[in-house]
C-alpha cells in the first residue's frame, strides 16, 4: 500500500488490518511498530522500495500522490510518473490485482494541472494489463483531515466563505476505506471498473447546504454563507502562492479546481450495492468529525 501514512491511506490501513489483511506499507519516515504492518522505507520515486513493497503481495493498493504542489511538472511526477512506478513494481512482482485511488478531478483534465495529472495516472493504470479498479472519491472528510478543517472552523464562528455556486458530493473517510478494502478482496465484479462513490445523497450537496450541515455539527443552527466570485478566488490563489509559496493551500491551480460547478459523483458510476453502499448518514459522520477535532484540540 502506498499512502498509508496519509489521511485516506491511514483509514484504509486500519480497516484492512481489522479485516485480517497484513499490510506492506510504504513510508518516507520511520514509523512505530504496528501489528499487522510491515513498514517499507522508501518513496514513490524510489522503484527499489516499491519493488520491496510489492514483493509477495496479493494486491497492490495505490493511494499515495500529491494534491497541492507548485508546478505542472511536480503534479506529473507525484501522480502520473509515481503511478507508473507502482504499476511497474506490481507487474514485476507478479501481482495482478491493482486498486488505484484517483479523483473526480480526472474527469476534467483541462481544468487544472492536478486533474490533468490524475487523468494521466488513470491512463497508465488502464493500459497496465493488470486486474485494475479505479476509484474517484469526491470531497473526503473525517478525523485527521486538514483540507476541510478551515470550513469547520469558519462554521463554528457562524460564517462560511464558499466557492461560486455549484454542487459537490462528499464521503466520510471510513466509508471510503471500507470500499477500498472490499475492492482489494474482489476479483470479479469490479475488474476494469471506474467508481465514483459518495455518501448516498442524490444529486450531491450545494456548497451552501454542506456548509450548513457542518454548522449543525458544530452546534450552529445558522451559518451565514458567502460565495466568493471566481475573480476573487483566482486572486486569492495568486496572493496565497506569493505569500506562502510552497506552503500555499490556495494556489491558482486549486482555485480553478474549486470553482468548477459540478463535482457530483455520477449515479451510473456508483459501486454496485452488492459490493458496497454507504452505511452512515453524513450528519452523523460530520458530528463524529467535530468530536475528533475537538478532542485533538484542532477545533
pLDDT tens for 218-244 read: 999 999 999 888 788 777 767 766 666
Q: Kindly report the pTM of this predicted structure.
A: 0.95
Is residue 2 one of the residues assigned to a domain? Answer: no
Is residue 40 one of the residues assigned to a domain? Answer: yes
**Average confidence (pLDDT) over 246-269:** 84
Is residue 55 one of the residues assigned to a domain? Answer: yes
**Domain span holding position 228:** 7-295
Is residue 58 one of the residues assigned to a domain? Answer: yes
Domain of 148, CATH number, reads: 3.40.50.720
Total domain count for the chain?
Answer: 1
Is residue 251 one of the residues assigned to a domain? Answer: yes
Tens digit of each residue's pLDDT (9 = 90 or more) over 4-58: 999 999 999 999 999 999 999 999 999 999 999 999 999 999 999 999 999 999 9
Is residue 1 one of the residues assigned to a domain? Answer: no
Q: Burial letters for 243-275: b for 16+ Cβ neighbours within 10 Å, e otherwise? A: eeeeebebbbbbbbbbbbeebbbeeebbbeeeb
Tens digit of each residue's pLDDT (9 = 90 or more) over 171-219: 999 999 999 999 999 999 999 999 999 999 999 999 999 999 999 999 9
Amino acid at each position: 500500500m502506498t499512502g498509508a501514512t496519509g489521511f485516506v491511506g491511514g483509514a484504509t490501513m486500519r480497516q484492512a488490518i481489522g479485516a485480517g489483511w497484513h499490510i506492506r506499507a510504504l513510508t518516507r519516515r520511520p514509523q512505530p511498530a504496528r501489528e499487522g504492518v510491515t513498514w517499507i522505507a522508501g518513496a514513490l520515486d524510489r522503484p527499489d522500495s516499491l519493488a520491496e513493497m510489492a514483493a509477495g503481495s496479493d494486491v497492490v493498493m495505490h493511494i499515495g500522490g500529491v494534491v497541492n504542489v507548485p508546478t505542472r511538472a511536480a503534479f506529473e511526477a507525484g501522480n502520473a510518473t509515481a503511478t507508473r512506478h507502482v504499476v511497474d513494481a506490481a507487474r514485476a512482482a507478479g501481482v495482478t490485482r491493482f486498486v488505484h485511488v484517483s479523483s473526480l478531478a480526472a474527469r476534467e483534465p483541462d481544468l487544472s494541472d492536478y486533474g490533468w495529472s490524475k487523468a494521466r495516472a488513470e491512463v497508465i493504470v488502464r493500459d497496465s494489463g493488470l486486474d485494475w479498479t479505479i476509484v474517484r472519491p469526491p470531497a473526503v472528510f473525517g478525523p485527521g483531515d486538514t483540507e476541510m478543517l478551515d470550513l469547520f472552523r469558519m462554521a463554528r464562528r457562524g460564517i462560511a466563505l464558499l466557492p461560486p455556486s455549484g454542487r459537490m458530493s462528499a464521503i466520510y473517510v471510513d466509508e471510503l476505506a471500507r470500499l477500498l478494502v472490499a475492492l482489494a478482496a474482489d476479483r470479479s465484479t469490479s475488474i476494469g471498473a471506474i467508481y465514483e462513490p459518495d455518501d448516498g445523497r442524490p444529486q450531491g450537496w450545494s456548497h451552501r447546504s454542506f456548509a450548513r450541515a457542518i454548522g449543525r455539527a458544530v452546534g450552529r443552527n445558522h451559518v451565514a454563507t458567502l460565495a466568493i466570485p471566481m475573480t476573487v478566488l483566482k486572486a486569492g490563489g495568486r496572493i496565497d502562492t506569493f505569500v506562502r509559496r510552497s506552503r500555499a493551500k490556495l494556489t491558482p491551480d486549486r482555485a480553478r479546481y474549486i470553482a468548477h460547478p459540478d463535482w457530483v459523483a455520477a449515479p451510473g458510476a456508483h459501486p454496485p450495492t452488492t459490493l458496497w453502499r454507504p452505511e452512515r448518514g453524513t450528519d452523523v459522520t460530520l458530528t463524529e468529525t467535530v468530536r475528533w477535532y475537538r478532542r485533538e484540540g484542532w477545533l
